[in-house]
Every structure is written in C-alpha cells, then in structure tokens.
Amino acid sequence: MHYLDHAATTDLRPEAADEWLRVARTTGNASSTHGAGQQARRILEESRERLAEVLDCDPIEVVLTSGGTESVNLAVQGLWRSRQAAADAVVLPDGEHHATLDTVAALAADGATVRPVRLDAVGRIPVGEFARAVAASGAALATALVANNEVGTLNDVAGLAGAAAAAAVPLHLDAVAALGHVPVSFRSWRGDAAAGAGLVALSVAGHKIGAPVGTGALVVARSARLSPLLHGGAQQRGLRSGTQDVAGAAAFARAAELAESERDAEAARLGTLRDQLVAGVLARVPAARLLGDPAPEGRLPGNAHLLFPGAPSESLLFLLDAAGISASAGSACQAGVAEPSHVVQALGRSEAEARSVIRFTLGRTSGDADVDAVLAVIGEAYERASGAAR
C-alpha cells in the first residue's frame, strides 16, 4: 500500500507506542495523594513540561485533551460563553476545519453572530480584512488556522495575532495541521499582548505527528478566561475536569519531541517529494491544477492539493485505491460524505471544481516509491474518471 493521506492521520511512532506501553503498565490516578498516585502525577507533569517546551509556552498553560476537535470546542465555546454578555460575534474565516465551523454553527443557534472573513485565491486569510473584522464592535473572539488543512496554505499568524491584540479581542489558533511541519511558538505569536487579548488559545492533536489517536492539547494563556465544557473534578485549572490520561500524555510528549527535532530536515525532504509529485502529475495530466499557494514556502511541505477538472473525486479515489494508493478529497472528518469541498469553494472555485479534487499528503514514512506509484497510474485514472463523468 502507498499511503498518501498523512494529513488525516499518520503512522504511530514506535517510540510513542513504547512510551505509552511503559506508562500504561503503571498504576495510579494522578489526582490521588498516595505514592502510586504521585508517581503518576510526576509522569504527567513531566510530559506536560515536555509538550510546553515544543509548543513554546508555560507548562501550566498546557491543557491535555482527547484531540484536536475537543481542543477547538473548548477554545471556541469556552471563549464565547465567557464573553457573550459583553460581545457575541465570532470572527470566522472561510475555509476553516469542520471542528471549528460546526462549533460556531452550534453557538449561532445559541445567539452568536458569525462575522465571516473571505480567503484570497490561494486560501490565505487577508490580514487587513481580518483586522477590520476583529476591530468592529461586538467581537467576542476570533479563530483561524495556522495552516489550511486541505490546501496546505500557511497564514500570516503573527499578523493575525497582532490584529487581534490591537483590537483587544481574544484569538484562538488551530495548529493541528501545522504542528511538526512548521515552527509553532505560542509565546512568540502571543508577544506582549494585553491580558485576555490577542492569541490566548492554541489547538494541537497527537495523531497527526505519530502519537496515539485520542491525544491532544489546548494551550491556554494564563490570563485567558474560558468557560469549561466538562465539570466534575477541577483538574487542569478547572478547564478540563476528568481523570487525566497519563500514558497518552507521555506518548504525545515523546512524539512531539521527535517531530520537533526532525522538523527542518523532514520539511526539506517532504518538500522535495511534494514538488516531484506535483510536477509529475501536471506533466501527465496537463488539465490538472495545483490549489493553494504555489510557492513552496507558502504551504505545508507535504501537501499537494490538486484539481482534476471533469473527474469526480469519488471516481479518482476509487481508481487510486484499486491501485493501492490511499489519498483523500479533503478533511478526513468529512470522509464518506459526498459533498463538495467548502475550502475549494472558499477559493472562488465552482461547486463542480470542488467535487473534482484530490489531496495527497506525505509524511514520515513516505518515499520515492509512493510518488512513483501515483505517477504510474494518475494519467489513466484521470482519463477513466473524466470519461465516465461525460
């Protein structure tokens, strides 16, 4: 099998699996006061410190969660509910992940006002438009992707954070797709923003970097005010009650350390593979188009999001899968749902074009053989898929 869907989930790192097994064999609740409990607590807090080192924040600011979706929900719902008495608008760029879109839709049903920001043609959030949206009265919070999870375009995070800080509006960033591929620094992005303003929350997930599924974190600034989603034990500053997953935290920390130590070299390697893949596909399917920022430095290193005019995504994916190639048409959270990509439409593309895209994403286990496998079949697959659609 040639796996080119690492943005959906990537291989579990052996080191992270070993860490999980080692810690899972120990007994003790990290909230207990006896020796076994305190041993678990020590491992938990050491893991939090290791994650904080990677994310460039204080350990107390790391709130462990079950993954990216919970982290996004805690940030967006928590910020809005803590501020709704004074402000009710959510600044929401187009093309966000469904974890954010659906959370904001649920808040809209509870009275939130949604203030959209349109993307540019490559999928980037224009800082000027974003600044105007957060500066308008009534903004309770803003949220944005560090890197678009579908087309891979990187945003000007410093610019977005600065605009939110200048408007005294709290900002949540979704760094799930970015962690391990580009630098992620909560402290530098936050800068000297006033308490409760600018960047106050940052979401990450473990399974995108080789940690077990079910691990994640939300970095929450010391000065931020969030209403918790879960109640019952007041763990983690009262923001996320419940018995903490010590083994998951240890495995996540190990995977994060490895991903960070390898990041620059791996980004260069994946960028080269991606460019080979894109050039090869465009040579074999001249009608195809690369979506997202065409500049290599403006997109995630392992992302190649391609439009295949006239060829339905479902047909292409079926033909690729039959050839032993795993790819996707967009976010895995929408897998199995036959709908056009909202991200592609946010770029100004038609619904028909949004139904004719494939996202190839490379990861730690990807190599030349995976690229060669795609190039060997993509021309015929396109001809068959587009011919069947006529």
Higher pLDDT, 322 or 330: 322
In a domain, residue 77? The reply is yes
Is 324 in the same domain as 303? Answer: yes
Question: Is pLDDT above 60 for 335?
Answer: no
In a domain, residue 388? The reply is no
Is 278 in the same domain as 137? Answer: no
Q: How many domains does the chain have?
A: 2
Is 111 in the same domain as 161? Answer: yes
Q: Which residues pair with 357 in a beta bridge?
A: 307
Residue of 60, 230, 333, 376 marked active site: 333
Confidence band, pLDDT 50/70/90 cuts, at residue 331: low
Is 322 in the same domain as 231? Answer: no
pLDDT at position 390 = 57
> Could you give the CA distance from residue 133 to residue 127 in angstroms, rounded to a whole number?
10
Is 67 in the same domain as 181? Answer: yes
Is 252 in the same domain as 268? Answer: no
Query: Mind listing the pLDDT tens digit for each residue in 264-288?
Result: 999 999 999 999 999 999 999 999 9
Q: Which domain holds residue 238?
A: 14-256
Query: Mind listing the pLDDT tens digit for each residue in 32-84?
Result: 899 998 999 999 999 999 999 999 999 999 999 999 999 999 999 999 999 99
Q: What is the pTM of this model?
A: 0.96
Q: Are 88 and 138 in contact (CB under 8 A)?
A: yes
CATH of the domain at 186: 3.40.640.10
Angle between helices 246-284 and 368-389 (to 10 degrees): 60
Boundary (domain end) residue, out of 233, 256, 279: 256
Is 272 in the same domain as 289? Answer: yes
Question: Is pLDDT above 60 for 88?
Answer: yes
Is 159 in the same domain as 307? Answer: no
Is 169 in the same domain as 277? Answer: no
In a domain, residue 386? The reply is no
Boundary (domain end) residue, out of 221, 236, 256: 256
In a domain, residue 389? The reply is no
In a domain, residue 325? The reply is yes
Rounded to an integer, the average pLDDT of 129-137 is 98
333 as an active site residue: the answer is yes
In a domain, residue 387? The reply is no
Is 105 in the same domain as 136? Answer: yes
pLDDT at position 175 = 98
pLDDT at position 330 = 74
Compute CA distances 157 → 4, 92, 184, 202, whole Å: 27, 15, 10, 12
| CA 118-307-270 angle, 5° bins | 90
DSSP line for 216-252: EEEEE-TT-----S--SS-TGGGTS-S---HHHHHHH
In a domain, residue 193? The reply is yes
Is 173 in the same domain as 215? Answer: yes
pLDDT at position 332 = 55
Is 86 in the same domain as 224? Answer: yes
Burial class (CB in 10 A: 0-12, 13-18, 19+), 390: exposed
pLDDT at position 178 = 98
Boundary (domain end) residue, out of 256, 274, 307: 256
Confidence band, pLDDT 50/70/90 cuts, at residue 389: low
